[in-house]
Amino acid sequence: MSDGKSPISFEANILRLPAKGMPVRIEADEAQRRAMADAHHLVEVKSFRADLLVENWKRDGVKVSGRVKAAIVQSCITSLEPIDAEVDEEFHALFVPEGSKLTRPDAYEGGEMILDAEGEDGPEPFSGDTIDVGQLAEEFFALGIDPYPRKAGAAPVAPRGDDGEDRGPLYEQLKALKRDG
């Protein structure tokens, strides 16, 4: 997308959130699913749904929690055949206004900041009165995609030498790209 926005962008106004939070459901239409497939190098996004809850957190913060579910089609890394896959990611994220004291970590030791790589992420700063919860849902969708999908039973294709023998489907694709470029 040329404007840098997510195909499923949804700006949630966080100024007057209900006490029990604001539920948001995002179901991608065909054009949005096609754009997501292109953006994430997928063959197809068959379905995409995010069920979110946007609620107040601490004094000025916002908590977004929910689940992203999608049915996708990827290319096998060895055979390039299409593979059906599912994305099912549960998440929560915290946001605080820019300049908030809550963005500063509490864990300092000897002048150095101590971070726990396995710990929860700290709050993200935001400005204005909206948070793009669609963009957030797409980020967690991306985290749920298998980066190395392999079809069951697909063995790695061993490249062959310079004796002219086949080097596999990836080699042929790269060769075609080089010819075209």
State the pTM of this model.
0.76
**Residue 74 near residue 82 (C-beta atoms within 8 A):** yes
What pLDDT is attached to residue 4?
Answer: 73
Best CA proximity match to 76, nearest among 173, 158, 151: 151
User: Over the stretch 137-158, which tens digit does the pLDDT of each residue have?
Assistant: 999 999 999 999 988 877 665 5
**Residue ranges of the domains in the chain?**
11-156
Question: Which single residue is written with the structure tokens 């000025």?
Answer: 60
Beta pairing, strands 82-97 & 124-126: parallel
User: Over the stretch 34-75, which tens digit does the pLDDT of each residue have?
Assistant: 999 999 999 999 999 999 999 999 888 999 999 999 999 999
Query: How is residue 134 annotated by DSSP?
Result: H
What pLDDT is attached to residue 181?
Answer: 62
User: Over the stretch 115-132, which tens digit does the pLDDT of each residue have?
Assistant: 556 666 778 888 889 999
